[in-house]
Amino acid sequence: MRIALAGNPNSGKTTLFNAITGRIEHVGNWPGVTVAKKEGDVKKELNRSGMDIRAVDLPGAYSISPFTSEESITSSFVRNEHPDVIINTVDATSLRRSLFFTTQLLELGIPVVVALNKIDLVKKKGIVIKTEKLAEKLKCRVVETSSAHKKGLSELIAAAAEVCGKGQEAPFRGAVDLDSTDEAAVEAVDRERFAFVDRLVSEVEIRKTDSAAQTMQDAADRIIAHKYLGIPIFAVVMFLVFQISQVWLGPWLADYFVGIIDSFQGRVEGLLGDGVSPLLSALLLDGIIGGVSAVVGFLPLIMVMFFLLALLEDCGYMARVAVVMDRYLKKVGLSGRSIIPMILGTGCAIPGVMATRTIRDLRQRRTTAMLTPFMPCGAKLPVIALFAGVFFEDAGWVGPLMYFAGIAIIIIGALIVKNIAKEGPAKTFFIMELPEYRFPGIKRAAISMLSRAKHFIIKAGTIILVCNAVVHIMQTFTWSLQVVEEGMENTSILASIASPFAFLLIPLGFGAWQLAAAALTGFIAKENVVGTLAVVYSISNFIDTEEFVLVSGAGDVASALGLTSVSALAYLMFNLFTPPCFAAIGAMNAEMGSRKWFWAAIGFQFGMGYTVAYLVNQIGTLITTGSFGDGVIPGLLAVACYVGILVYLMYRKEQGAAAGVKEAA
Amino acid sequence: MELALANIFFNRKAKNSKAVKQHNLTHAEVNRPYVIRGIDTDDRSVKDFLFTLGCYEGEKVTVISVLADNYIIHVKDARYSIDRDLAKAILI
């Protein structure tokens, strides 16, 4: 049998889904995290019915009539796909609002079990709910649950199994054959529905305190989401996240971890012995193990970072960040909802880009999909960490600077797109339920962290491993399949492919083919930048096990790479702010649904990455050495070309703009 | 013809006076319950969406706090953050 989980946004559907299926879907303590339906089998230990039960997690909805795209997924699923049972998760702290949707679900004739979720919060708030009476009035089973604390789950599944196959009586029935185009009539019915819910709630619920009263939380909000303080607080929080993950805790864990990798590499070397061809052993040791371990070495650091980000999300802080950022995003023509994809994008750009479908306005949705990848994602963290360690002595400010640079580029990009598209956006509204602050679940954060780590390791063991092997082979052989001679590295396949690109990068301060090759492999997966650098410069490990610093012999690595701190910063920013990896580019293509927008986005991202790197390198070089770096004129021409195109597009005649928009739509 | 003109004139007048008289949530005092008098928006779906949150005429609403450009409002035992434009559309 199939159970659909439906309920209001942030009522805990995905938490419940994860708890009953043992899956680890991304959960956020804020609305709008789930944008597509997800399925999973209910765990055996919760399911005593003997039937196979499959659960379907649906995006949050306030009503059965679809106003947002997530709501339409939910309503079309419960209406058309005939689930056997609907579990309606209800936030027990706001029955007056939640039961509106419940009464609509009860009309469908599909058996409904109400999961009275967040029941622990109800008790804390001094609210008393007469559950039995509620069940009697709603004419369906009601089970008290707390999905965050895994309470009431097996009772819930048992109730669902019991009602399976039975019909459902509706306690309140709006006229079924109502003409949905008759707005007044629909509204009248819905008004009655709310009145019915109000009467019902006053019978079953006793509130000791007025929920409209000011609480400590509201006082906290006034500081955390303050007009002027909000941004500095966010900056401090991000700085702490980086400081802890890269300077305080990260290196300590990485130390231990890299020790294991090192001994593994040593053991493989011993196993191979002398009988194996040196070519093969170099491929295995330097190419595959060396490259992969350079990437995997950063795993502890990334895990610490994701753990902290999960804590922030879980405690309710990220929802406040969305409120703080809303006004800035609106000024540049984005929707307040655009912040959600961007925050998800800090983990991985793909779910971030997918989350843009919650944005109603087409232009805003496409613009957000185009700009979300500028947010540094998890795969870019090893690159940031490497450069922070090698060139900036593990400075804690490098990471946050990259995030704020990303945000700045997003804002500039949004302004540019707003001026190019010229289309007055449909008036959009930002509405978001503010979740309550809560003590973040250590276990939940740990689970989220482990699932990220798992993805990271799988990726390192597949795509990155293969890429490193290919890179190693390509730099070992010439086109005539001869082994590259010592001192003739420029004749390798890799060098000849990467050199033309390297030429283009001279104005940015990094014209070496090795660096160009690393940037190129970065489009397959951004972690590859680190792996490829390790392979081409045969640095087996960036992380030192002797010293208590993140990157070993920072000076040696810096001289091997042949970059100044300025050009290193330029290289780092180039890798962060050019188009994302191919997988994320694919997601962008899917969400934009327009070739024209898609190619414009790719071009825009390339131009942006190039321009930012150019400016950082040339201006930085001018400040540090007193003169411009190499290739200032050709680079200037390229950047001027790019800016010229943007300016032309922004100021072209209105008529042309209108035609362009039409075509795009 | 005359009638039509008179109608236009009359409607415009009515509209103008309405704009002056009506208060919306941005004028609300923090922490004081108000009764919603109506939702003023051209966008039907916004009105319908607000309705599903329990935000419609006759319901009680309280502004809990004003954060940056967002208003934290309390409707039907739940709290939402809404932006200034939306707050303007909620007449009290």
CATH number, position A92: 3.40.50.300
Phi and psi, residue A346, nearest 5°: -70, -25
| B69 contacts on A by Cβ (under 8 Å) | 227, 326-327, 330
Average pLDDT over residues A290-307: 83
Question: Taking 70 as the threshold, does the pLDDT of residue A660 lie above it?
Answer: no
The answer, for A69 touching chain B at a CB cutoff of 8 Å, is no
pLDDT tens-digit readout, A429-478: 778 888 888 888 888 888 888 888 888 888 888 888 999 899 888 988 88
Count CB atoms within 10 A of the CB of residue A307: 22
Q: So what's the ipTM on this one?
A: 0.77
- A233: pLDDT confidence band, cut at 50, 70 and 90? very high
The per-residue pLDDT for A663 is 40
Q: Confidence band (pLDDT; 50, 70, 90) for A410?
A: very high
Enumerate the residues of chain A whose CB falls inside 8 A of the CB of residue B81. Answer: 319, 323, 430-434
Instruction: Give chain A positions within 8 Å (CB) of B78.
Output: 91, 93-94, 96-97, 433
Residue A374 has pLDDT above 60, yes or no: yes
Residues A638-655 have a mean pLDDT of 81
Confidence at residue A112, expressed as pLDDT on a 0 to 100 scale: 93
Q: What is the dihedral of CA A481, A483, A488, A492, to 10 degrees?
A: 40
Exposure class string for A83-97: b at 16+ Cβ within 10 A, else e? bbbbbbbbbbbbbbb
Are residues A419 and A463 part of one domain?
yes
Identify the pLDDT of residue A553. Answer: 56
Contact B72 A221 (CB under 8 A): yes
Lowest-pLDDT choice from A189-203, A237-251, A366-380: A237-251
Chain B interface, mutation test: which of A360, A429, A437, most B Cβ atoms within 10 Å?
A429
Average pLDDT, chain A: 84
- What is the nearest CA distance from A591 to chain B, expressed in angstroms? 23
Contact residues, A window 314-333, toward B, CB-based 8 Å cutoff: 319, 323-324, 326-327, 330
pLDDT band, residue B1 (cuts 50/70/90): very low
Least CB-CB distance to A67: which of B49, B68, B83? B49
The mean pLDDT of A16-45, rounded to a whole number, is 81
pLDDT band at A181 (very low <50, low <70, confident <90, very high): low
pLDDT band at A603; cut points 50, 70, 90: very high
Taking the CA of residue A174 and the nearest CA in chain B, the distance in Å comes to: 15
User: Which whole number is the average pLDDT over A254-271?
Assistant: 79
CA distances from A158 to A113, A142, A170 (A): 10, 12, 22
Report the interhelical angle of A493-505 vs A513-521 (nearest 10°): 100
| Mean pLDDT along residues A340-365 | 84
- In this structure, the answer to whether residues A202 and A125 fall within a common structural domain is yes
Instruction: Establish how many alpha carbons lie within 13 A of residue B70's alpha carbon, considering only the half-sphere containing its beta carbon.
Output: 34
pLDDT over threshold 70, residue B14: no
pLDDT band at residue A101 under the 50/70/90 scheme: very high
- Chain B positions contacting chain A at CB under 8 Å are 31, 33, 43-46, 48-49, 51-54, 56, 62, 64-65, 67-70, 72, 74-83, 85-86, 89
Same domain? For A196 and A260 the reply is no
* Count of domains forming chain A: 2
Residue of A210 and A508 predicted with greater confidence: A508
Domain that holds residue A522: 233-664
Domains of chain B by residue range: 24-91
Model confidence band, residue A543 (pLDDT cutoffs 50, 70, 90): low
Q: Lowest-pLDDT range, A160-169, A228-237, A544-553? A: A544-553
Question: What proportion of chain A, given as a percentage, has pLDDT over 90?
Answer: 22
Which positions in chain B touch A433 (Cβ < 8 Å)? Answer: 78-81
Q: What pLDDT, in 10s, does the model give residues A469-510?
A: 998 889 888 888 888 877 677 788 998 999 989 988 989 988
Q: Which residues of B touch A200 (CB under 8 A)?
A: none
Are B79 and A433 a contacting pair at CB < 8 A? yes
Largest Cα–Cα distance in chain A? Answer: 87
For residue A8, give the chain B residue with the closest CA.
B53
Question: Are A154 and A239 part of one and the same domain?
Answer: no
Q: What would the mean pLDDT of B17-21 be, rounded to a whole number?
A: 48
Q: Select from B57, B59, B66, B70 the residue whose CB has the most chain A CBs within 10 Å, as the one to mutate to test that interface.
A: B70
Instruction: Classify residue A441: in a domain, yes or no.
Output: yes
Q: Which two tokens stand for residue A529?
A: 């930048």
Instruction: Supply the mean pLDDT for chain B.
Output: 78
Chain-chain contact of A97 with B78 (C-beta, under 8 angstroms): yes
Q: Are residues A299 and A396 in the same domain?
A: yes
Residue A100 has its nearest CB partner, among B46, B54, B62, at B54
| SS3 at position B78 | strand
User: Does any CB of chain B come closer than 8 Å to the CB of residue A211?
Assistant: yes
Nearest CA in chain B to A224: B67
User: Based on the domain organization, do A258 and A349 belong to the same domain?
Assistant: yes
B24-91: CATH topology is SH3 type barrels. (2.30.30)
DSSP secondary-structure letter at A8?
A: S
Q: Are residues A52 and A199 in the same domain?
A: yes
Residue labelled with tokens 């795993």 = A299
Query: Are residues A328 and A191 part of one domain?
Result: no
- In angstroms, the CA A598 to CA A406 distance is 20
> Which tokens belong to A369?
């999909």
How far off is chain B from A337, nearest CA to CA, in Å? 11
Which of A111-120, A138-147, A200-209 shows the lowest per-residue confidence on average (mean pLDDT)? A200-209
Same domain, A580 and A644: yes
For residue A301, tell me if it sits in a domain: yes
More confident residue, A420 or A654: A420
**Cβ–Cβ of B54/A96 closer than 8 Å?**
yes
Give yes or no: residues A143 and A180 share one domain. Answer: yes
* Burial class of residue B2 in the structure, from the number of CB atoms within 10 Å of its CB (0-12 exposed, 13-18 middle, 19+ buried): exposed
Please compute the mean of the pLDDT values over residues A57-75 and round it to a whole number.
82
Percent with pLDDT over 70 in chain A: 91
Q: Residue range A149-156: average pLDDT?
A: 89
- The mean-pLDDT minimum among A34-38, A47-51, A557-561 falls in A557-561
Q: Do B67 and A227 touch (CB under 8 A)?
A: yes
Between residues A76 and A557, the one the model is more confident about: A76
